[in-house]
């Protein structure tokens, strides 16, 4: 009850002065990043929207919908030169860097030993972990100039409950949580007034989920798998995975404003939370499940998949 009261009080502490504040958002081609850029533009922030393709449909849509306060830039977080190029852009703008939202991410699905060597793990880590760390390293000196600024990292429920077929993605989101916790404590030691916020959505209908559930991606991984490994899997185990992906797609939440609302709070509130979890009405249940003993989780997950 005490936390509930604190939470309600905290929600009213809005940051109102926005015109001199710059927000950098990665992964704005679609999904959460694209919608957050629109939301923060309406609130009056200066937004730097990082996209992979500045002439793609996502970038064109942002230009059509947003004001001149939104600056669309090419930003592939796996490329050092792209990330470094943002620093002079920020320094030339009027205002200070108030928030960095590390939203860029990719997903994949398949048994852990599918694919060639560790290529799939490396591919997902390059964006979800190393890209996030790269952006944070280059932007942190700018954030430190603005007391009360914040770093917002997108994790996932998959970073708390590791699911079958999602080892690549779950590992990266566990890493995001660990990284966020570590640098938050480092900043407390150095006395730098930068809030570190971690957001953990459950499965929402975005481009990442569509990629994870796409049979083409699963087929690609299977085709890249060595013959010896392929022989260790039965047709039934492959069919079971496909069924589970279809089941997951039906469970995904469609109202992504549930996530955009908390992302906006993480940027706007004077004292944002350390963690935000976006699960809708499942919030309490999933939070409890994530703290269940591993032996119970293992058995429950195994049973649910065998009954598909």
Task: Find the angle CA(156)-CA(140)-CA(29) to the nearest 5 degrees.
Answer: 50
Instruction: Find residue 102's DSSP bridge partners.
Output: 153
Catalytic pick among 165, 169, 204, 276: 169
Is 169 tagged catalytic? yes
Q: How far apart are CA 126 and CA 187, in angstroms?
A: 25
- 266 to 17, 36, 162: CA distances (angstroms): 15, 11, 25
Whether 202 and 282 have beta carbons less than 8 Å apart is answered as: yes
CB-side exposure of 275: number of CA atoms within 13 Å? 16
β-pairing verdict for 96-102 and 275-278: unpaired
Sign of CA dihedral 139, 140, 142, 148: positive
Give catalytic residue positions: 169
């Amino acid at each position: 009850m005490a936390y509930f009261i604190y939470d309600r009080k905290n929600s009213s502490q809005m940051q109102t002065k926005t015109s001199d504040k710059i927000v950098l958002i990665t992964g704005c081609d679609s999904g959460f990043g694209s919608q957050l850029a629109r939301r923060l533009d309406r609130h009056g922030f200066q937004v730097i929207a990082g996209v992979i393709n500045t002439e793609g449909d996502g970038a064109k849509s942002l230009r059509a919908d947003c004001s001149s306060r939104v600056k669309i830039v090419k930003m592939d977080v796996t490329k050092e030169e792209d990330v470094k190029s943002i620093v002079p852009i920020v320094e030339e703008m009027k205002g200070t860097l108030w928030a960095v939202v590390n939203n860029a991410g990719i997903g994949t699905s398949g048994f852990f030993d599918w694919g060639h060597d560790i290529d799939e793990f490396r591919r997902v880590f390059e964006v979800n972990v190393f890209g996030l760390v790269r952006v944070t390293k280059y932007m942190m000196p700018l954030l430190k100039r603005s007391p009360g600024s914040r770093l917002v990292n997108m994790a996932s429920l998959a970073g708390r409950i590791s699911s079958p077929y999602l080892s690549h993605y779950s590992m990266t989101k566990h890493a995001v949580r660990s990284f966020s916790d570590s640098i938050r404590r480092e900043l407390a030691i150095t006395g730098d007034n930068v809030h570190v916020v971690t957001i953990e959505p459950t499965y929402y209908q975005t481009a990442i989920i569509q990629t994870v559930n796409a049979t083409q991606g699963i087929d690609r991984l299977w085709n890249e798998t060595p013959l010896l490994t392929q022989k260790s899997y039965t047709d039934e185990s492959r069919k079971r995975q496909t069924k589970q992906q279809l089941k997951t797609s039906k469970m995904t939440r469609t109202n992504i404003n549930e996530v955009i609302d908390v992302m906006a709070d993480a940027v706007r509130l004077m004292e944002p939370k350390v963690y935000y979890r976006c699960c809708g009405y499942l919030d309490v249940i999933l939070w409890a499940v994530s703290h269940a003993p591993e032996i119970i989780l293992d058995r429950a997950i195994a049973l649910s998949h065998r009954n598909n």
